[in-house]
């Protein structure tokens, strides 16, 4: 591959600067792709990061109690084990520090352009490259990698009268630490993965806590403990011990697929959750309101030891009547009860299936991903999209998980991306994109695997489902099967093009045939 010498960033309005690979985002996906590029000798790449530091969702989500719900030794890069995790489930500050350390130790910091928000990325068919407009100037790139992730844009619901509210309000992913919650009357909207972590943290400090629950989550006990100093020393001295722990965690979590794919088996998981609920909430009336009516796993299963007990405290009220109206200093529920509040905290998740960046990335003919997807994201191997040459999406459609570590999926996709670069270099082609037939076949394969699983037959509405009702988020099988499927690029599944200005072709044939994308 070509090498590139670092230059000064172009001023807005100046000529575009070119790079071989442009990466959007510096979370696990962006940093993982950058590190693997460097490890194979590639220096001609840039990471666009809209914030002032790396970390992605682990930088943005700094709310009290924020932690991972996948065990530490598995939720990390396979090529960068960390023997110094302090707990079996890592808290947010440790994960963020880990990512910053990886960026520094693997030498990718000089490639990052901080405070560069991507405003538009368009494929130039004539020049056969991407033209990327950022908040700090213009760039061109041969290859574009979208690594912004699914948990990057907070979702805030539209509440009647919210514009009249005169108190403090913020989303959990944009926590306002300077605002003192002590002695305040606080309303929490939503009971998802973030809320179950920050609610127990703020409950002792606030005067009154109103939890507005639309649907109760299934909550499993968190088998967490601190690692001893001796364990950490052993992990440092004998890396194989940590790799063995990682493999054991991975294998155990893979077993959960059986429960998600076969509803009868999910009853075993359900019994554990119900037992946890009974032990945590003695009051049968409150317990009934916290018991889900849908199959476990249909929505994201949450893990917590202190969320359910926090709801039993005297200063906490569970509200299940919904929000009818927000007033200047109060919230009125669906039954007409008005509750004075000083602050509203949204724990309402993220824009997973309708990410704003999809409306800024334009492929052949000028159509955006958002327009092509029409509310239901589709991609070949969850990574490439027909009509969008030289575009690779990390954690794209149907690569999310309900049972294991998404870092495993990211690394599998990165290897596929690198295989594509190798193929392009070895074959002397400048452009690669999936054939429409190959993409349709893969999407159909995923949908067949999805049939009968709890993710589509679990009697619930979840953020896994897009606005068409299709599950375009979850990979419905073992993760090793996904890795095996994407490990090697099959040229027969792709359209390829020659040097800039050349005629696109498919395996040496003119791509203007019936197999070419329109």
Render pLDDT for 67-108 as a digit per residue (tens, 0 to 9).
999 999 999 999 999 999 999 999 999 999 999 999 999 999
| Structure-block tokens of residue 331 | 């919230």
Domains in the chain, CATH or no CATH each: 17-153+351-510 (3.50.50.60)
DSSP state of 448: H
| Structure-block tokens of residue 456 | 């589509």
- pLDDT at position 514 is 29
449-505 pLDDT per residue, tens: 999 999 998 888 888 999 999 999 999 999 999 999 998 899 999 999 875 444 443
The Cα 302–Cα 69 span in angstroms is 8
- pLDDT at position 518 is 25
DSSP H/E element including 307: helix 307-310
Q: 124 CB contacts (<8 Å, ≥6 apart)? A: 130, 131, 140
Q: Is 128 left (phi over 0), alpha (psi -120 to 50) or beta?
A: left
Collapsing DSSP to helix, strand or coil, 377 comes out as coil
The Cα 324–Cα 339 span in angstroms is 12
The Cα 217–Cα 186 span in angstroms is 21
438-454 pLDDT per residue, tens: 999 999 999 999 999 99
- pTM for this structure? 0.91
Q: Are strands 505-506 and 509-510 parallel, antiparallel or unpaired?
A: antiparallel
Q: 106 CB contacts (<8 Å, ≥6 apart)? A: 31, 34, 35, 38, 39, 80
8 Å CB contact between 313 and 206: no
Q: Cα angle vertex 141, ends 140, 144, to 5°?
A: 125
- pLDDT at position 499 is 57
Average predicted confidence (pLDDT) for the chain = 92
Q: State how far Cα 141 lies from the chain centre.
A: 24
Handedness of CA 266, 272, 273, 278 (dihedral sign): positive
8 Å CB contact between 54 and 103: yes
The Cα 424–Cα 489 span in angstroms is 11
- pLDDT at position 14 is 61
| Structure-block tokens of residue 159 | 């509440």
Burial of 8 (C-beta count, 10 Å sphere; 0-12/13-18/19+): exposed
DSSP H/E element including 80: none
Collapsing DSSP to helix, strand or coil, 247 comes out as helix
Q: Cα angle vertex 145, ends 141, 151, to 5°?
A: 140
Determine how many CB atoms are found less than 10 A away from the CB of residue 128.
20
């Amino acid at each position: 591959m070509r090498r590139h010498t670092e230059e000064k960033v172009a001023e807005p309005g100046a000529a575009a600067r070119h790079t071989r690979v442009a990466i959007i985002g510096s979370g696990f996906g962006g940093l993982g792709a950058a590190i693997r590029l460097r490890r194979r000798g590639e220096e001609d790449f840039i990471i666009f990061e809209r914030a002032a530091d790396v970390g992605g969702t682990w930088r943005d989500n700094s709310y009290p109690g924020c932690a991972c719900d996948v065990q530490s030794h598995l939720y990390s890069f396979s090529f960068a084990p960390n023997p110094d995790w302090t707990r079996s489930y890592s808290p947010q500050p440790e994960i963020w520090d880990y990512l910053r350390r990886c960026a520094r130790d693997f030498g990718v910091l000089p490639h990052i352009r901080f405070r560069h928000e991507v405003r538009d990325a368009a494929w130039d068919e004539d020049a056969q490259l991407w033209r990327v407009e950022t908040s700090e100037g213009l760039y061109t790139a041969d290859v574009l990698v979208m690594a912004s992730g699914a948990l990057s844009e907070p979702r805030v619901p539209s509440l009647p009268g919210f514009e009249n509210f005169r108190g403090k309000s913020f989303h959990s992913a944009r926590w306002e630490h300077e605002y003192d919650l002590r002695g305040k009357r606080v309303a929490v909207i939503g009971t998802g993965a973030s809320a179950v972590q920050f609610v127990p943290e703020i409950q002792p400090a606030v005067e009154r806590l109103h939890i507005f629950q639309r649907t109760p989550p299934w909550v499993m006990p968190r088998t967490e403990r601190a690692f001893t100093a001796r364990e950490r020393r052993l992990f440092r001295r004998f890396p194989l011990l940590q790799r063995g722990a990682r493999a054991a965690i991975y294998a155990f979590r893979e077993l959960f697929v059986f429960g998600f794919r076969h509803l009868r088996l999910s009853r075993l998981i359900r019994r554990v959750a119900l037992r946890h609920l009974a032990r945590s909430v003695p009051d049968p009336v409150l317990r009934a309101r916290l018991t889900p009516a849908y199959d476990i796993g249909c929505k994201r299963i949450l893990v917590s030891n202190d969320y359910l007990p926090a709801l039993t405290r005297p200063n906490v009220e569970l509200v299940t009547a919904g929000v009818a109206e927000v007033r200047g200093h109060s919230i009125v529920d669906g039954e007409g009860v008005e509750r004075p509040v000083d602050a509203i905290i949204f724990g309402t998740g993220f824009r997973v299936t309708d990410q704003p960046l999809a409306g800024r990335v334009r492929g052949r003919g000028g159509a955006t991903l958002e327009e092509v997807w029409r509310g239901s994201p589709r991609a070949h191997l969850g990574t490439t999209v027909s009509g969008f040459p030289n575009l690779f999406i990390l954690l794209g459609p149907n690569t999310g998980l309900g049972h294991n570590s998404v870092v495993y999926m990211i690394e599998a996709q990165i290897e596929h991306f690198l295989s594509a670069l190798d193929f392009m270099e070895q074959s002397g082609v400048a452009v690669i994109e999936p054939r429409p037939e190959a993409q349709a076949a893969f999407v159909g394969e995923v949908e067949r695997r999805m049939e009968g699983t709890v993710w589509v037959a679990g009697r619930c509405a979840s953020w896994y489902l897009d606005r068409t009702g299709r599950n375009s988020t979850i990979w419905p099988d073992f993760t090793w099967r996904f890795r095996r499927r994407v490990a090697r690029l099959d040229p027969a599944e792709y359209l390829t093009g020659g040097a800039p200005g050349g005629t696109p072709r498919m395996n040496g044939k003119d791509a203007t045939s019936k197999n070419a994308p329109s």
